[in-house]
Structure 1
């Protein structure tokens, strides 16, 4: 299993507000399946970050493209494989 950091920069504030609940439900479903490790918004309103788990960049990209924010043009996305270093157990 690998981790992938997905940045979701703001494209359209109005669409982001409209599809927020759909986006959060999407992430909640994936969290329950073990596909989303953690997520949160940036406090300055610039967008958000989701840490996905998956076997490959291609797998995670397919999932990200089904996010309501991406489908409806509320956010853009940028994906990077992430090598987590932590002193804590999550």
Structure 2
């Protein structure tokens, strides 16, 4: 079973691209079959962003829970993803 990860970004948010790149890299390292992720444009999906209480980008939602409201360190995101996927690398 995979976890669902959504990165909420805005069109002019430079750091949002870094968040997506980091998640793509970590997803490949951990196992792409364990993480189902997508980038969400807050302008196009404002109702979804509001439903999670997102007020800044990038924000990261994991399994319908707002987990990060800014770009986490690579280590912190990795730890969180591993914990959520029950992976003990």
Q: TM-score if structure 1 supplies the norm length?
A: 0.34
Structure having the higher strand fraction is 1
Higher RCO structure, 1 or 2 (CA under 8 Å, sep 6+): 1
